[in-house]
Amino acid sequence: MGEGEGNRAYGHKPFKRSRSHFSDRITADGREGWPVEAGRYRLVVSRACPWASRALVSRRLLGLEGALSLAVADPLQDDRSWRFTLDPDGRDPVLGISHLAQAYEAREPGHPGGVSVPAVVDVPSGKLVTNDYQQLTLDLATEWTALHRPGAPDLYPEPLREEIDEVMEDVYRDVNNGVYRAGFATGQAEYEEACAGVFRRLEWLADRLAGQRYLVGDTITEADIRLFTTLVRFDPVYHGHFKCNRWKLAENAVLWAYARDLFQTPGFGDTVDFDHIKRHYYQVHTGINPTGIVPLGPDLDGWHTPHDRERLGGRPFGEGTPPGPVPAGEEVPAVPAAGA
């Protein structure tokens, strides 16, 4: 997942997420040696990982599927971390490697730190370019514009960036990362502080979203993407596995409707694989769930039920249009419709 995650030993130190070790940027002018170029790079993700899922959503909304190819790792890791066992012969068909670690090693032999997703790999050299999940999606929105599809939304509009950044910082600290601080806590006080912070922020978000359809402005922005990838995992894993159980997402009318609204928007729900999500968290985090048992619930039918958020107005894609169909080979199993 993002830096600092995985099947690690849990001591008595508070959970702290590591910084991305490789923070090169792929830019329109190539100022860091990595110019935006169709077909040159490969995005490596796990559909289990919320940080990687941001990139999946952004790539779909912006129509970058044809310019930035996709490699999906197995949700279950081995001692070398993310692996390509979902592909024929256990190798990524473009990079020709069995483990993402090989791209890290090609970039910096013996590099410190773990192997995280999302990662962008330079196809010609086989070297990792970046694992900076915070910057990656911002650059997809602002540096890759020449390769965006016609009608692509502006996910990081310049007039709103200060407000978007402020909201995202609060959401990251208390929600995106807060659930991990609660889940990986090794002391009662540490857990209670993190868990309380998660729900304080969720209640603040519910108040904010009660009267507006999206977090900032009247269109979908990067802020919505970053909140969605945590909310969609909340009831399946964070509520039970990470003990963030004061209430379920489905018990908060505003946030549940907001999350369903986004899930039903092309580019969001069609990137979500609940099977990968549940198997990864419950089977990889053996320090928290030593039996490796994956729970049967919760019932996922509700994601397709009406959300009634249209009454708040808003224009999901601004002056743009919805993305097209999911490309062949990138489909994920759909959540069963209610009553199915």
pLDDT at 302 over 70: yes
* Dihedrals phi, psi of 272, to nearest 5 degrees: -90, 130
To the nearest whole percent, how much of the chain has pLDDT over 70? Answer: 92
Q: Cα torsion at 141, 95, 52, 25 (round to 10°)?
A: -40
For residue 14, pLDDT over 70 is answered with no
Active site residues per annotation: 49, 180
- Looking at the DSSP bridge assignments, the partners of residue 83 are 99
Cβ proximity of 47 and 136 under 8 Å: no
| One-letter amino acid of 221 | T
- The pLDDT, as a whole number, for residue 21 is 82
**pLDDT computed for residue 232 by the predictor:** 98
- Res 15 pLDDT > 80: no
Sketch out the chain's domains with CATH numbers.
Answer: 41-147 (3.40.30.10), 158-270 (1.20.1050.10)
Q: What is the pLDDT of residue 16?
A: 60
For 138-150, how does the pLDDT look when each residue is reduced to its tens digit (9 = 90+)? 999 999 999 999 9
Q: What is the SS3 string spanning the chain? A: CCCCCCCCCCCCCCCCCCCCCCECCCECCCCCCCECCCCCEEEEECCCCHHHHHHHHHHHHHCCCCCCEEEECCCCCECCECECCCCHHHCCCCCCCCECHHHHHHHCCCCCCCCCCCEEEECCCCEEEECCHHHHHHHHHHCCHHHCCCCCCCCCCHHHHHHHHHHHHHHHHHHHCHHHHHHCCCCHHHHHHHHHHHHHHHHHHHHHHCCCCCCCCCCCCHHHHHHHHHHHHHHHHHCCCCCCCCCCHHHCHHHHHHHHHHHCCCCCHHHCCHHHHHHHHHHHCCCCCCCCCCCCCCCCHHHHCCCCHHHHCCCCCCCCCCCCCCCCCCCCCCCCCCCC
pLDDT in tens, 163-217: 999 999 999 999 999 999 999 999 999 999 999 999 999 999 999 999 999 999 9
Q: Average the pLDDT over 314-340 and give the result.
A: 85
pTM: 0.94
At 98, list the tokens: 């069995």
The predicted structure's pLDDT at residue 111: 86
